[in-house]
Amino acid sequence: MNYFITGAAGFLGSALANRLVVEGHHVRGLDDLSTGDPTKLSPDVFFTRGDVNDRPKLWSMLQDIDCIFHLAARVSVPESILYPRDYNHVNVGGTVTLMEAARDVGVKRVVFASSGAVYGNQKIASLKEDAEPKPRSPYAVSKLSAEYYIRSIGALANVDTVCLRIFNAFGPGQHIPAAHAPVIPSFLRQALRNGTIVINGDGGQTRDYVYVDDVVHAMISAATTPKIDNMIFNIGSGQETSIKNLLKAVLDVTGGRPQVVYNNKADGGVRHMRADINLAANKLSYKPSMDLEAGLRTTLERDQILNNPRQNET
């Protein structure tokens, strides 16, 4: 099949692109390289640097494409609080532009990487797809808005759409920015260098951490499974881990002795998150294969940046 990936040089995008070419598919990728790294991509991926809001480029690259994976996005909750207009432009505006192009060219299916953040704070422990969304950050609002645009434009234009609400994905190759770094690569890096780990709040807040290979499996299933048009699926591990327990697991696998600092800074996040993955299991044959500790160990073994002392100092 012919696939097109936005955000192709990013963490999830590159893992997905590389898996698809190994399986013998033709893959075109687009990324503005604001955080992506094209060296992560197989040479068999036809990669172009560009903006998801570039209509002519999208129209050209979508010719003969069977399915789009839409992963291009800005993804930091704290950053979205500072720059909500930028998040709206990329995450919402870029999605609308892409769907217009998919409609005009005649793409058959779009798989969208949404986020578990759209649920916000809920009274129930395990989050099902029919829970009322209660987004608490501009990032979460932008992902929910993108879901509505994708599903409505797809329905009107006869384009199959599937939205995957991905929880906290982690694994080798995850970008570690200077500010607002994802928690797992940040903890691993600081533990390896015996640096400082900062925990916001009391550490009792929980997240559902899912290994990158399991997310890739879910995305490919969403592209190929019949009769799932306009559906939404949770993609997580189905397990809930507190920040304190995550820290313990990181220290166990690294043997590090970092300084741990607690503060009361609010980050716009939610208190508890755990995905109910029964619908994905039933419709997509989705079954997570890697638990948290095994995923942390595999990340340490395979991640070039974490294992490069010089890069680790940046």
Query: Looking at domain 2-169+209-235, what is its CATH homologous superfamily?
Result: NAD(P)-binding Rossmann-like Domain (3.40.50.720)
With 70 as the cut, is the pLDDT of residue 69 above it?
Answer: yes
Tens of pLDDT along 191-239? 999 999 999 888 999 999 999 999 999 999 999 999 999 999 999 999 9
Tens of pLDDT along 234-277? 999 999 999 999 999 999 999 999 999 998 765 556 888 999 99
Question: Which pLDDT value is given to residue 181?
Answer: 83
Burial class (CB in 10 A: 0-12, 13-18, 19+), 56: exposed
Residues found in the chain: 314
In angstroms, rounded to a whole number, what is the distance separating the alpha carbons of residues 292 and 290? Answer: 7
Question: Which pLDDT value is given to residue 267?
Answer: 54
Sequence spans of domains, the chain: 2-169+209-235
Question: Which pLDDT value is given to residue 1?
Answer: 97
Question: Which pLDDT value is given to residue 288?
Answer: 97
Ranking 138-152, 226-240, 295-309 by mean pLDDT, the lowest is 295-309
Annotated catalytic, 139?
yes
What DSSP string describes 154-174? HHHHT-EEEEEEE-EEE-TT-
Considering the candidates 87, 119, 139, 209, report the single residue annotated as catalytic.
139
Average of per-residue pLDDT values in the chain: 94
